[in-house]
Amino acid sequence: MKYLTPAAVARIRSLKARTSFKIGGMLEGRHEMALKKGSSQEFSQYRQYAKGDETRFIDWKVYARKERLFIKEFSRQSAVKFHIIIDASRSMAFKGPHCAESKWDYSARFALYLACFFITSGDYAGITAVSGDNLARFKPSNDLAALKDMDSGLAALRPSGRSLPAEKLKSGVAAMGRNSAAVLVSDLMVEPERLKYLAGLFSSGRIKTFVFQALDRAELDLPWDGCAAFSDMETGDEVTMAPAAVRAAYRLEFSGWLKRAAGAFSASGIRHFAAFTDAPPFVSLEKFIKLF
């Protein structure tokens, strides 16, 4: 797989799962591997033992037959279905001169890491990539094998079109069922009015929502010299300027835009997290899941 390697899966398994998650005022989701006395959890499947797992759930009968350690996993009806929505617009293809991968590749990798984390925590995860030109949907699953199709689907997709089309998002949110939560992964390169619309869309649907904003460091620093022509990747609009002459004022304005973007979501009770693509994906993942 391009984004989710076996080493990444092993590392994600070692992350501590959340102990609780609230949807609509109710405590939902199975975020502990431990089966508590009196709970309604039922046996779901086996998985291979990983360092840090509770040994009391090792099935010793299976070990006697296969000489390998397996853990019993449990499920219950209140598992959360996480819908991860990735912005697949043209601006997500941007890659600055000092970053190893584009915002799209970084976001796709992050989305798969997050989906893997949710599934290994006992919940469901699905991924939808959306733009004005694209729509690729992988329905929520609690099977790690489903991540292979998600990985190959995202690897084959090329960002194009405009960002976060309202109608596609509206229909997607409307289709989310009971015990659902959403994670929006985007650079949020849209007009301020659209940010407010997005915040209102997710909050009005009573869907617990989290936003991960992926940015390239060059979008903040303008690291180019001389006179340069900058073209909008989605509209084709072009402006010519000397980056050094506007760098200080631009950075101030960009930082202000980041605060306004975060504020648009926080005003609707939506938690927002921004990360630059030069940060290791696991660092961003570990920081992001602390929001839950």
From 30-39, 73-82, 134-143, 272-281, the region with the lowest mean pLDDT: 30-39
Rounded Cα–Cα distance for residues 34 and 191 (Å): 46
The whole-number average pLDDT for the span 78-85 is 90
From 52-56, 142-146, 273-277, 285-289, the region with the lowest mean pLDDT: 52-56
Rounded Cα–Cα distance for residues 74 and 35 (Å): 7
| Domains (range + CATH), the chain | 42-75 (no CATH), 81-291 (3.40.50.410)
Percent of the chain with pLDDT over 90: 54
Contacts of residue 69, defined as CB under 8 A and 6 or more positions apart, other chains included, come to 48, 49, 58, 63
pTM of the entire predicted model: 0.81
**41 confidence band (pLDDT: 50, 70, 90):** low
Phi, psi of 245 (to 5 degrees): -75, -25
Q: Express each pLDDT in 9-40 by its tens digit.
A: 999 988 866 545 555 444 355 444 333 333 34
The whole-number average pLDDT for the span 33-58 is 60
The whole-number average pLDDT for the span 59-79 is 76
Token pair 């609690």 is found at 142
Q: Express each pLDDT in 238-272 by its tens digit.
A: 889 898 999 999 999 999 999 999 999 999 999 99
Comparison of pLDDT for 221 and 28, the residue scoring more: 221
Q: Express each pLDDT in 138-191 by its tens digit.
A: 999 999 999 999 999 999 999 999 998 888 898 888 888 878 999 999 999 988
The whole-number average pLDDT for the span 134-140 is 89
> H-type helices in 76-212, by residue range?
103-120, 146-156, 166-174, 192-204
Rounded Cα–Cα distance for residues 214 and 267 (Å): 20
Percent of the chain with pLDDT over 70: 86
Burial class of residue 136 in the structure, from the number of CB atoms within 10 Å of its CB (0-12 exposed, 13-18 middle, 19+ buried): middle
Token pair 């350690």 is found at 69
For the chain, the average pLDDT equals: 86
The whole-number average pLDDT for the span 37-47 is 55
**54 confidence band (pLDDT: 50, 70, 90):** low
The whole-number average pLDDT for the span 92-104 is 94
pLDDT of residue 207: 83
End-to-end, the C-alpha distance of the chain in Å comes to 27
Q: Can you spell out the DSSP letters for 27-49?
A: EES---SS--TT---EEEEEEE-
Print burial letters for 160-199: b (CB count within 10 Å at least 16), e (below 16). Answer: bbebbbeebbeebbeebeebbbbbbbbbbbbeeebbebbb
Comparison of pLDDT for 64 and 109, the residue scoring more: 109
Residue 214 has pLDDT above 80, yes or no: yes
The whole-number average pLDDT for the span 201-230 is 90
Residue 87 has pLDDT above 50, yes or no: yes
Rounded Cα–Cα distance for residues 50 and 224 (Å): 46
pLDDT of residue 39: 37
pLDDT of residue 98: 87
